[in-house]
Amino acid sequence: MEKVQLQYLGHSIFKIVTESGTVIYLDPFLEDNPECPIKLKDVDRADIVLVTHGAFDHMGDAIQLVKKTGALLISGPDVRVDAVSKGVLEEKCQLLVWGGEVDVLDVKIRSLKADHLSFFRSRDGYLCSIAMSFLITTRDHLRIYAVGDTSIFSDLQLFGQLYRPHIGLIPVGGFPGFFTELSPSEAVLAAQWLGVQMAIPIHFPAGQEEGETFRDLCGQMAPHIRVKIMKPGQEVSYRACDFQMGCEA
């Protein structure tokens, strides 16, 4: 059985390659991210680009990446409007809002609430809309929950009951110079509510302690959750089978 590859590219960026080889970039903040080991010029393929919200450290280089590769952009309405205004074809911009789900190639992408805001400058004005999280379900039913930026809110428990994600990409800190939306202790509660079996702490500066703090608190409060702290550029591979009792390889 093929595995899904997850490569962490710093801050909140992931490159995900599915069992069938579909390439997904999540929140591709490449060029101005000092922790990202690649730049836009290094990307030769993308099939799907996911943007949780329009902040500079999440939307990043999404529009340029879509133009370069012909990938499908999946985002909220404000990011879509900005992309179309900058020359991205409308058919390459898939709109999602909370609760919506689309089938693209071999994956299902569901938009769920993030308790946050999407607000950014676009041409001569500003655009504002919802921020999102994404539930990514692959061909062989591996479920990855990309939390995006959020504060703590109790619907995360409902999402865990409904969707039972295997892996959570969970923010535990903030971008340097900006406030933190989800502290390590709140992030542990979010992971518990979501019911993830593996948590990958993200959205904190490399070399700082938020990831280790999250891991230590998980060990105390939720020892059943495996925590994987990833360095920028590091790759891991998983199957849905890795999270199922009695599942054969």
Kindly state the average pLDDT of the residues 157-170: 97
Share of the chain above pLDDT 90, in %: 84
Sorting pLDDT into bands at 50, 70 and 90, what band is 240? very high
Sorting pLDDT into bands at 50, 70 and 90, what band is 118? confident
Task: Give 178 or 220, the one with higher predicted confidence.
Answer: 220
Share of the chain above pLDDT 70, in %: 97
Asked if pLDDT for residue 120 goes beyond 80, the answer is no
Asked if pLDDT for residue 246 goes beyond 60, the answer is no
For each of the domains in the chain, give its residue range(s) and CATH number, in order of start. 4-240 (3.60.15.10)
> 25-63, pLDDT tens digit by residue?
999 999 999 999 999 999 999 999 999 999 888 999 999
> 122-161, pLDDT tens digit by residue?
888 888 889 999 999 999 999 999 999 999 999 999 999 9
pLDDT of res. 177: 67
pLDDT of res. 123: 80
pLDDT of res. 208: 84
For the chain, the DSSP string reads: ---EEEEE-STT-EEEE-TT--EEEES---TT-TT-S--GGG----SEEE-S---HHHHTTHHHHHHHH-PEEEE-HHHHHHHHHTT--GGGEEE--TT-EEEETTEEEEEEEEEEEEEEEETTEEEEEEEEEEEEE-TT--EEEE--S----THHHHHHHHH--SEEEEE-S--TTS--SS-HHHHHHHHHHHT-SEEEEESS-TTSSHHHHHHHHHHHH-TTSEE----TT-EEEE-GGGGSTT---
pLDDT of res. 247: 66
